[in-house]
Amino acid sequence: MAKEIVSDSEVVDHVDHPPRFSDETSREGRWNRRRIAWVSVLASLLWWLWSCGALRTRPTLSSEAPAVAPVDNVPDIGFPESVLRTWAQYAPYIPAAEYIPPPPGCAISQVHVLQRHGARWPTTDAGAEMKSAVQKLQRVKHYREDYLTFLKNFTLDLGANDLLPLGAKQSFEAGVVSFDRYTHIVTEDNPPFIRAASSPRVVDSAANWSAGFTVASHCKIKAKVDLVIPESGNITLDDTMCPNSSDGSKESKKWLEIFAPPIKKRLNSAAPGAKLTNKDTHQLMSLCTFHSQVTMAPSPFCGLFTAEEFRGYEYHGDVNKFYDNGYGGNLGRVQGVGYVNELLARLTGQPVRDHTQTNRTLDASPETFPLNRTLYADFSHDNEMVSIYSALGLFRQYLLPGQQLDPVKPCPLRTWILSSLVPFSARMVVEKLQCTGKLPLPLGTFVRILVNDAVQPLEFCGGIAGLCELHAFVASQRYARHDGDGDFEKCYN
């Protein structure tokens, strides 16, 4: 049974989850809009039942037949990859690169997965703003452009917060990929250790990942969610512990006031009297991304905008996260320090040393923070993952003036692009490797980091082919090892 921690000292049982998705706001008639995604989830569930013997008297294993269907790198929503990548943090998961095995002479001995929850409904507040914008358009009596006429008979029926079928599917597939890639470091007696932040969409993503991992092993390895950590207390998997941090709204508003007015003007001209604002315009673009992933088909709202306009939308997300949880935020990096210190403890097999976000009761117990596992999987949110990237030193913008994103002028040299950093189901994987001394790497223990399968250069610790010696990697994390150099205290003072 998974454990849910309700305080720094109390532990209660939490029910294990089968592969599923959350949708607390289902209503009659939504099936037709989501039938493709439902089929995908049902197929995964049937494979889970079949592979684990629930539909057979005696399970039989075959090395010739895979346990699950092949993973789709680009989800079939009706858009090319180039369009999906302009959806910023609301993009579905697409690998940023093709996975490259470790160099010759190096073998993976330990793996740490940090993964965002899968595709979801809009948050409650964002969904309300989307509905308000749609209602402004629907109150218009006569449209001047045909691309708006669908609104005459359109009913917007949004859920809130919870995992979508696509999110369940991509989380399940991520578990399959992890088993296929790291089979050699897990056993029946040494399964993955899995933690999740307590939001239902995060727990359900972790459960679907666990199911995918289990199915891929033909149920020989029973992966399960071991620990659910409430987001109301000390936690390293959510950014809830720094009330004084900036939120990026000041900088992203500057860009909104540049890219949105021409779109707003065009839409208000096509819908006289709608009186859309810049924010309405942005929320209608967000509605395109969410509605498409609900229906698994192009939303009619996407037809309101051009590809170039969505590149402006993409940069709005990039700027917001950079100045919220990223390098541009006053306290962005420090919110990732606790997780980095947990990572260092697992990599070195030493107790956690941290005085920031960690729950010291949990991290002191081998039951809730074991140090002897070979595969760890943690499930989180995009904001926290951005803080962790920044605390580690990933994605520094060396090619930009002052290493900062300009809120009023996008630079094509930037590598801070959210669809490659934190799309839905994003994952950072830290591999610990033992290398035999084959050139160009010396004999020793190394670390490699991949973000959405793209190998990171690790220039901050002398990376060679994306690998750093473990001791050099640990030494490079001075900011985390010194509890953020006083920044954590600024979260409250």
Residue 13 confidence (pLDDT)? 29
Q: What is the mean pLDDT of residues 13-35?
A: 36
Q: How confident is the model at residue 12 (pLDDT cuts 50, 70, 90)?
A: very low
* Residues marked as catalytic: 117
Q: How many residues are recorded in the chain?
A: 493
**3-state SS assignment for residue 462:** coil
The token pair at 92 is: 């579905």
| Least confidently predicted of 35-44, 46-55, 319-328 | 35-44
Which pLDDT tens digit goes with each residue over 424-461?
A: 999 999 999 999 988 888 999 999 999 999 999 999 99
- DSSP one-letter string for 371-397: SS-SEEEEEE-HHHHHHHHHHHTTT--
Residue 440 confidence (pLDDT)? 86
Q: What angle, 0 to 180 degrees and rounded to 10, lies between the N-to-C axes of helices 124-138 and 278-295?
A: 110
Residue 3: is its pLDDT beyond 60? no
Residue 52 confidence (pLDDT)? 66
Residue 39 confidence (pLDDT)? 42
Residue 4 confidence (pLDDT)? 44
Residue 314: is its pLDDT beyond 90? yes
Parallel, antiparallel, or unpaired: how do β-strands 427-436 and 106-116 relate? antiparallel
Residue 25: is its pLDDT beyond 70? no
Instruction: Compute the distance between CA of residue 65 and CA of residue 361 in angstroms, rounded to an integer.
Output: 45
Mean pLDDT of all residues belonging to the chain: 89
Which pLDDT tens digit goes with each residue over 28-47?
A: 434 443 443 444 445 455 55
Peptide bond preceding 300 in cis form (omega within 30 of 0): no
Residue 378: is its pLDDT beyond 70? yes
pTM, rounded to two decimals: 0.89
Q: How many CA atoms lie within 13 A of 487 on its CB side?
A: 24
Residue of 180, 196, 165, 59 lying closest to 108 (CA atoms): 180
Q: How confident is the model at residue 11 (pLDDT cuts 50, 70, 90)?
A: very low
Q: How confident is the model at residue 48 (pLDDT cuts 50, 70, 90)?
A: low
Residue 439 confidence (pLDDT)? 85
Which pLDDT tens digit goes with each residue over 197-241?
A: 999 999 999 999 999 999 999 999 999 999 999 999 999 999 999
In angstroms, what CA-CA distances link 355 with 71, 182, 236, 485? Answer: 40, 32, 12, 11
